[in-house]
Structure 1
Amino acid sequence: MAGPTKAQIEARLAELEAENARLRGALEENATLRAAAPASGPAATVTVVPAPRHRGRAFLGILLIVIATLLAPVSTVAAFAAREASDTDAFVGTLAPLAQDPAVQALIVDEATDAIDQALDTDALVNELLSQVIDENSTPRLANASDLLGPLLADQARVAIRSALTTVVQSDAFATVWEEALRLTHKQLVAVMEADAEGAVSIDDTGVVSIQLAPIIAQLKPALVDAGFTLADSIPEVDASITVAEVPAIAKARLGYSVLTTTGNVLPWVALLLLIVGVVVHPRRPRAIIVAGTLLLVTGALLAGAIAIGGSVAAAMIATEVPTDATNAIYGQLTGETAAVMLAYVVLGAVLILAGIFAGGSSLGSGARGAGSSWLARGSGALDARGWRPEGVGLVLRRMGWLLWLWLAFVLALLAATLRPLNVWDVVFGTVVLGLAAAVFLVFRGPDEVVVVEDEVEVDVVGERADADFDEFEDEPQI
């Protein structure tokens, strides 16, 4: 079809200018009527009907968003605690790396050395050996010196035990022993909490739950002998443990375990649902998105700072019982995933703030949308030039804008399933991946198209601009 001629364009332009002049005149006449209304009596009164401000919807939306952002960190902690309490693989994955930490290795060596020393009763054992070797009648001088020689040999035995234990604990084989001990202890604890009649009970009458050192030392004995400490064959069965929890009332503990697992599985979805509903209900969705992003950013930053400070406080509180380095290592391993999620809240908050500004009606948002459309046009054009974008895909993606959120949700679920346990670098990596996923979708979608049809200009807008413009129109006084 041939395009319009120059004469037709000029005629159409003249018609538009005339229509514009007519509308301007109508507006001026309307303004004149408003100015003259007070002096012309009741018959000339102009009734102004204000449009509803949707204050109720705005208040409800903000309330839901605030509740959701307050529940978000609570749900994160609850979900982490529930997973650690009920999932043995997650528990082992969190604490198993501690076997490679030098401070934790030193703590284990100290505890195991003391346990072996008490089980052997090294001083009594050395005195017994000396009494069998030294004859008081034949070697009276040596017998008199045995009182000094005994403590020295006992100390040398303790040094040998510690040296051999250090060699074994710092070896790669110890990591396997440590992981098996953690797995066994957690399975026993879960069996107790879930009242599993077939599970081994790892809780005593006073409610003390502990990591048993007996299986660790039993597996370390052959390694000690291979390391040159032949006295390890004489180590009896050791009944020692590291206390990890105290459960004075098992019935209450089981109830708390049930509540924790249920809350941890449900609360994150409740927070997410409240956040989505709050944004949808609010009459100004861009504004609601900015509020949600700001609250998430502030909450995540504050809690991340609190977690960082908490490590120093915990180390100071138990410094007399556990070395500070070991406490920091254990605390960092236990809170590392939660701190990473708080950082993710900060990143998500910043993204939501930018998205709200981008979708809003401000000049900054308009400029950003213009620049974005330009870049999208270049990317889409490059795909079309190479034949990498099937015909009609862009139109479908523009018409079905919700596919973007479905696509991002799929990528996020995939990242959450593969990046475990979560750390700070995983958050950075996930942010980059989500950004690239969104960019790929938008490039295939392409910019909004402007279609000129004879007397009309139809703009295909995908997003919430139509709703925002309609809300702005409703706020204007209606005559």
Structure 2
Amino acid sequence: MERENAELRDRLDPPRAATTGRRWRAVVSALLIVLGAVLAPVATVGAWAHGLLTDTDRFVGVFAPLADDPAVQRFVTAEAVGIIEREVDLPALTAALIDGIEDLGAPGTAVSAARALETPINLGLSGLVRSTVESVVASEAFSTGWREVLTLSHSQLNQTLRGEPGAALAIAPDGSLGLQLGPVIGTVQEALVAQGLGIAASIPAVDVVLPIAEDVSLTGAQAGYGAATVIGPWLPWIALALLAAGVIVARRRRRALMGAAIGLAIAMGVLLVGFAIAAQVVPAVTPLPADAATAILSAILSPLSQTSAAVFTVAVLLVIVGWGTGPAPLPTRLRAMTSAGADRLRTIGDRYGVGTGAFGAWIERFQRVIRIAVAAGAGAIVLLARPLTPGLVVGTLIGAVVALILLDLLRRPAR
């Protein structure tokens, strides 16, 4: 009786060592989940940056469409025309032409008429330059050339972060970011000369950097560039490993899974909010026209936002799945209704001679393995598919749910 009483007391009041062990498991699990959730946004940005640096197709896919964006075309046209007019003094050329006519001994009336037309001639030349630049920038040839240049000069982004000369983007010592217009002006100059505007040949090589973002401390980005290129592709796996370890260590793994999913959803939500704020603030602080700055920023942030939204969707779905498989009254009732409905359909099928027979018995025998395979396949699609989008995540979940429903209908439980 004393031994039995001691056993009962142990059951009601667990030993201190067991209680301490449970507490430490809970602490370690929570710490791992928090670290994984905090690292998730950094991993998302780091993996995207690494892919942009190493994948030429991705780099071109992000920046090539900017050549066809009307806002960017207007910006490039305005800047190119401004540089051409600054480097080629059209009024001085017109005045020199009229002076040459006068030096040739032309009648005074002719010289007076030419001087009266000096302003219209200048305006006509300016209009010709602008219209030519607009047609060149809006042409398919310019878009194709832009794509080819991006493909051939994929190393430009690396050169920017390394601070090398000749990069398309330049980082100043104060951390501001600028766009070099030299290559663009060179392309426009060749097109103008080809179209018969000979004065464009006098445009010298320009080294103009347009400030895009000031006081953004990109020197810090340069400092961490080397580390980012090395650990960037591993960061998502590290974050996933921390979250998975936190779930495995926990005693109540379903709750830990829901906690990890909630933490991941919060982290991705904060990242999405940050992108939304940047989309509103950055165009307002850059010297670029607001529509052009918005187009450039959208091209950069759109892939990141899609990936973050997809991960956020995964986290929310994991919370829903964790709740749906839990012991709460509502999900328990729903699972019972689903099982009863499947059993009723199997009974009706048997009544009319439509059954799965030995195949259904085989599915019943290996249903757990099949369920695990379906879940693993859905997880592999979400982890490995690129680009990851919310539509892909939701479609994968729907496909997995349909597969599990078919599995429940096809299996043949022993009566």
Contact 1:380 1:443 in 2 (8 A): no
CA distance in 2, matches of 1:323, 1:173: 25
Give the alignment of 1:233-248 within 5 angstroms: 234-242=201-209
Shift of 1:81: 2.0
Query: What per-residue deviation string (whole Å, max 9, x for no partner) do you get for residues 197-238 of structure 1?
Result: xx9964999789976645444444565467x65346635453
State the distance in 1 between where 2:275 and 2:300 align: 11
1:126–1:154 CA contact under 8 A, matched in 2: yes
Deviates more, 1:267-276 or 1:367-376: 367-376
2:5 and 2:263 map into 1 onto residues whose CA distance is: 50
Aligned partner of 1:435 in structure 2 is 398
TM-superposed CA distance for 1:367, in Å, is 1.7
Select 1:412's aligned residue among 351, 365, 382.
382
CA distance in 2, matches of 1:209, 1:167: 29
| Matching residue of 1:161 | 129
- The amino acid across from 1:48 in the alignment is R
Within 5 A, what are the aligned runs for 1:241-280? 241-242=208-209, 256-280=224-248
Q: d(CA) in 1 for partners of 2:81 and 2:49?
A: 32
Whole-angstrom CA distance in 1 between matches of 2:380 and 2:346: 23
In terms of mean alpha carbon deviation, does 172-181 or 205-214 score higher? 205-214
User: Relative to structure 1, is the Cα distance of residues 57 and 376 closer, same or farther in structure 2, using a 3 angstrom cutoff?
Assistant: farther
Question: Are 2:291 and 1:325 equivalent residues in the alignment?
Answer: yes
Distance 1:177 1:379 in 2: 62
Is 443-452 or 99-108 further displaced after alignment?
443-452
Pick the aligned partner of 2:9 from 48, 51, 62. Answer: 48
Query: Does structure 2 retain, via aligned residues, the 8 Å contact 1:404–1:438?
Result: no
How far is 1:132 from its partner? Answer: 2.6
Query: Contact 1:279–1:289 (CA<8 Å) still a contact in 2?
Result: yes
User: What is the RMSD computed on CA atoms of the aligned residues?
Assistant: 4.0
How far, CA to CA, are the matches of 1:283 and 1:444 in structure 2? 30
Gaps of 5+ in 2: none
The partner residue of 1:57 within 4, 20, 25 is 25
- For residues 334-373 of structure 1, the aligned pairs below 5 Å read 334-373=300-339
Contact 1:210 1:241 in 2 (8 A): no
Separation in 2, partners of 1:147, 1:261? 63
The 2-side partners of 1:407 and 1:166 are apart by 51
Q: Deviations over 1:17-44 (max 9, x none)?
A: xxxxxxxxxxxxxxxx9xxx9xxxxx98
Question: How many angstroms does 1:274 deviate by?
Answer: 0.6
Q: Cα distance 1:358–1:101, how it changes in 2: closer, same or farther (>3 A)? A: same
Secondary structure, in 3 states, of the residue corresponding to 1:183? helix
Residues of 1 paired with 2:177 and 2:282: CA distance? 21
Q: Deviations over 1:289-314 (max 9, x none)?
A: 22122222233233212211221111
Cα offset, 1:194, TM superposition: 7.8
**Deviation sequence 1:422-445 (CA, Å, 0-9, x none):** 6xxx42244213421453255336
Distance 2:333 2:229 in 1: 48
Pair 1:292–1:380, CA change in 2 (3 A):
farther
**Match 1:98 to one of 62, 66, 82:** 66
Give the one of 178, 194, 197 matched to 1:230.
Answer: 197
TM-score (norm 2): 0.79
Q: Is the 8 A contact 1:120 1:235 kept in 2?
A: yes
**Deviation larger for 81-90 or 131-140:** 131-140
Q: Secondary structure at the match of 1:238?
A: coil
Would the alpha carbon gap of residues 369 and 164 (structure 1) be closer, same or farther in structure 2, given more than 3 Å must change? same
**Residues 77-116 of structure 1: CA deviation (Å, up to 9, x unaligned):** 1212222234333222111111121111100101111222
Task: Count residues in correspondence.
Answer: 395
Whole-Å separation in 1 of the counterparts to 2:58 and 2:295: 18
Match of 2:92 among 100, 124, 130: 124
Matched residue SS, 1:179 = helix
Aligned twin of 1:305: 273
Provide the C-alpha distance between the structure 1 equivalents of 2:23 and 2:94, rounded to a whole number of angstroms.
Answer: 85
Q: Give the AA of the match of 1:432.
A: G
Separation in structure 2 between the aligned mates of residue 217 and residue 45 of structure 1, nearest angstrom? 90
The amino acid that maps onto 2:398 is G
The structure with more helix, counted as a fraction of residues: 2
Are the equivalent residues in 2 in contact too, given 1:113–1:161 (CA < 8 A)? yes
Partner of 1:396: 366
Alpha carbons of 1:183 and 1:124: their partners in 2 closer, same or farther (altered >3 Å)? farther
Alignment of structure 1 residues 19-38 onto 2, 5 Å: none
Displacement of 1:125: 2.5
Identity within the alignment, % = 28
Contact 2:213 / 2:282 at 8 angstroms: preserved in 1?
no
Q: Which residue is equivalent to 2:249?
A: 281
CA 1:352–1:376: 2 relative to 1, 3 Å: farther
Give the Cα separation in 2 of the matches to 1:389 and 1:133.
100
**What are the ranges of 5 or more consecutive residues in structure 1 without an aligned counterpart?**
1-32, 38-42, 453-479
Alignment TM-score, normalising by the size of structure 1: 0.69
Is 1:180–2:148 an aligned residue pair?
yes
AA aligned opposite 1:439: V
**1:444 aligns to what?**
407
| Offset, 1:270 | 0.7
Asked which structure has the greater CA Rg, the reply is 1
Residue of structure 2 in register with 1:457 after alignment: none
Q: Report if aligned partners of 2:361, 2:413 keep a CA contact under 8 Å in 1.
A: no
